[in-house]
Amino acid sequence: MSNERLELMVTKAFKIAEDFSHRYVTLEHVLCVILEDQDVIDVIVELGGDPLNISDHTYAYCHTELEEIKMVDVFACIVLSIYSSAPSAQLGVSRLNEGA
């Protein structure tokens, strides 16, 4: 995988985390992006899986199970947006990026 392609995927993962108002980018956010990749979709289908179902469950998990990393305090969100325009990477995502 090219560095450019990986960088685009990580950028999309940050966007997904931001859309959910999450403070961190997790591997679940990265998985949401990976499940959009046609090569990954083809492999899942070839193995008899349902990529849309997996993607739907992953997004639902991000919505319901990652509540503890959600920015709920409006004042904190405003302060954070002043100092940082995007969520920060969780250690696993940082390692993913370093390995590229």
> What pLDDT is stored for residue 24 in this prediction?
84
CATH number, residue 80: 1.10.1780.10
Question: pLDDT digits over 12-31, tens only?
Answer: 999 999 888 888 888 899 99
In this predicted structure, the answer to whether residue 54 has a pLDDT above a threshold of 70 is yes
In this predicted structure, the answer to whether residue 47 has a pLDDT above a threshold of 80 is yes
76 or 49, greater pLDDT: 49
Does residue 25 fall inside a structural domain?
yes
Does residue 14 fall inside a structural domain?
yes
**Structural domain count of the chain:** 1
Does residue 99 fall inside a structural domain?
no
Does residue 9 fall inside a structural domain?
yes
Does residue 81 fall inside a structural domain?
yes
DSSP one-letter code for 22: B
Q: Which domain holds residue 64?
A: 3-94
Does residue 22 fall inside a structural domain?
yes
42 or 62, greater pLDDT: 42
Q: Quick one: three-class SS letters along 61-89?
A: HHHHHCHHHECCCHHHHHHHHHHCCCCEE
d(Cα 23, Cα 32) in Å, to the nearest integer? 17
Does residue 100 fall inside a structural domain?
no
Does the pTM of the predicted model rise above 0.85?
Answer: no
